[in-house]
């Protein structure tokens, strides 16, 4: 796995807007989200093995009211 290029925050937020990913929090129904500046890796585990080569790059939005964290797969979100 090579070095990862981070997608700029404004491109992520613009694409979330374009795909209308602006719904209410499924936990508490508030609609104010905080956007984490950090990129995270979601790493699958199969048969007890950590599959780091298949990690998915994700960005997190956190509900300002209840703290629910939702993750968006950046590869999926930003594909053409």
Using CB under 5 A, list all residues that contact Zn ion. 25, 27-28, 63, 65-66, 68
**Shortest distance in whole angstroms from residue 31 CB to Zn ion:** 9
Say which residue the tokens 């104010």 belong to.
Answer: 32
CA 36 to chain centre: 9
Exposed, middle or buried: residue 8 (CB in 10 Å: 0-12, 13-18, 19+)? exposed
**Shortest distance in whole angstroms from residue 14 CB to Zn ion:** 23
**Shortest distance in whole angstroms from residue 69 CB to Zn ion:** 10
If the CB atoms of residues 6 and 29 are measured against Zn ion, the closer one turns out to be: 29
């Amino acid at each position: 796995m090579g070095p990862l290029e981070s997608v700029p925050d404004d491109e992520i937020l613009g694409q979330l807007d374009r795909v209308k990913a602006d719904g209410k929090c499924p936990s508490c129904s508030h609609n104010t989200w905080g956007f984490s500046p950090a990129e995270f890796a979601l790493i699958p585990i199969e048969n007890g093995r950590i599959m780091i080569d298949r990690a998915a790059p994700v960005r997190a939005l956190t509900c300002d009211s209840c703290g629910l964290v939702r993750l968006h797969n950046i590869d999926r979100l930003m594909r053409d």
